[in-house]
Structure 1
Amino acid sequence: MNVFGTVADLYERARPGYPPEIAESILAYHRGTPASVVEVGAGTGKGTEVLARLGAPLTCVEPDARMAARLVERFPDARVETTTFERWSPPDDGADVLGCAMAWHWLDPATRNALARRALAPGGTLAVFGHRYDYADAAQRDAVRAALRSADPTVRERPVDWFHRDVLDSGQFDDVRREVFRRELPLTKESYLALMRTFGPYLSRTPEQQRRGIAALDRLVDDFAGTVVLDLRTTLVLGRADAR
């Protein structure tokens, strides 16, 4: 289920972008400019901003038509295909780089690594990256987690850098590497609540759970003097498709 199209504009405004160093790391790993780049689950283009820096023809695969429309506006030189990764047909000669930013968990866990491997040209590069939103202050972290659990006891977090283990354990890629980038991100209450409204766990909850969660966070940020400081951990996982 794609829940983000309903908040495409908010997503674009509220979500932080990615460090430009990610593009440099991909180019260094790939050993030069790729012949072609494909992005899976491109959304409104947060990851596309990074992948466009690779300097190669770019195809964006995005299942939600509202998100795809934003991509067309923002990246007129890219080819945008409105379909799921599972239904998408890769080029006959494969993609040189296959990128995925914050969308790996939306792909079918049983097939995503194998499909990514088959979509790549021999020697091609897989580049999966995403943010992990933590808190610079441990007291803020504990208070936020308690508030969210009280609003919805089913809330769970994935392990840190879980997609590194996912790619590594699949056995589909050689020379799997992980790079981590970190920065502190201060947010006003308005910016913080807007960001929270773009997360899948929030969007997939009932309206009443959404209301309770945002109300609890609203009160908490007031207790934090109106500012939340995030510890933004961005992980890049790279893998190589061998020539088999």
Structure 2
Amino acid sequence: MDVFGQVADLYESARPGYPPEIADAIVAYHGATPTSVVEVGAGTGKGTEVLTRLGAPLTCVEPDPRMAALLASRFPDAHIETVFFEQWSPPADGVGLLACAMAWHWLDPATRNARARRALAPGGTLAIFGHRYDYADAGQGAAIRAALRAVDPTVRERPEDWFHQDVLTHGEFTNVHTEVFRRGLPLDKQRYLALMRTFGPYLARPPEQQRRGLDALSRLVDDFGGTVVLDLRTTLVLGRRAG
């Protein structure tokens, strides 16, 4: 997850936030305001913006010190622990809500569900949420995906409901529930390319490959008339600690 620290400021300015209704959905599912909240992989605080609306004591677990520093400056009332989730020690009596925004895939897939369950108090709630970036114009989406595959044929997308299935498969949580929020997000070329520069697959590529990818996308957006409209779908998965 520390790959994002090099672009922490860009990440904060370019990544879209989350619907505030997520906080209401969490409270409705949990049955009340959680007594305490822990956010795993908090980054610069895109998910934190929603979680602070709950009005509960908040701890943010973020391993990258550059992201954590920006997070602390934005949310001075939150307790920040600069550590990987796999090394983090939850309180002995557990927490009411464990949340993870757009970072579940960075956690150890063999242990993340079990660790999340153990971190929760009896009756505690797991809340995972994240965006899926698609395109309002199917033709534009197909052209963009083809251009990216031409630069790097190894590019793959996870299934849309992958973290819902991940939680179900591991069986650590009951009453698993999903809600989807959807909105159109128009971006001019500068904002769109800035967003693309914050994605993990882009940051993991060599500089020459990064340049070719951005050049290809820049030409496409020009062909589209200078604007891309994203079909931004935010999925929220909720689960209750089993046992």
For the criterion TM > 0.5, the same-fold answer is yes
Q: Could you tell me which amino acid in structure 1 is paired with residue 106 of structure 2?
A: W
**Superposed, which structure 2 residues align to 1:176-191 within 5 Å?**
176-191=176-191
Q: Cα distance, 1:208 vs. partner?
A: 1.0
The corresponding residue for 2:165 is 165
Q: Which runs of 5+ in 1 are unaligned?
A: none
Q: Distance in 2 between matches of 1:11 and 1:164?
A: 25
Give the whole-Å Cα distance in 2 for the aligned partners of 1:83 and 1:116.
15
For 2:136, the equivalent position in structure 1 comes to: 136
Identity of aligned residues (%): 78
Q: Return the alpha-carbon distance in structure 2 between the equivalents of residues 167 and 215 of structure 1.
A: 38
Query: Structure 2 CA distance, aligned partners of 1:222 and 1:214?
Result: 12
Counterpart CA distance in 1 for 2:211 and 2:79 is 38
**1:11-55 C-alpha deviation (Å, 9 max, x unpaired):** 000000000000000000010111100000000000000111111
How far residue 183 of structure 1 moved from its aligned partner, in angstroms, is: 0.3
Secondary structure of the 1:3 match is helix
Give 1:31's aligned residue. Answer: 31
CA distance in 1, matches of 2:58, 2:163: 23
Q: Does 1:43 align with 2:37?
A: no
Structure 2 residues without counterparts, runs of 5 or longer: none
Q: Which residue of 1 aligns with 2:2?
A: 2
Indicate the residue corresponding to 1:101 in structure 2: 101
1:54-86 deviations in Å (ceiling 9; x for gaps): 110000000000000011100000000000000
Deviations along 1:141-167, one digit per CA (max 9) or x if unpaired, are 000000000111110000002101001
For 2:71 and 2:12, locate their aligned partners in 1 and report how far apart those are by CA, in whole Å: 11
| Pair 1:231 & 2:227 matched | no
Q: After the TM superposition, which parts of structure 1 deviate over 3 Å for at least 4 consecutive aligned residues?
A: none
Which SS does the other structure have where 1:167 is aligned?
A: helix
RMSD: 0.6
1:54 corresponds to: 54
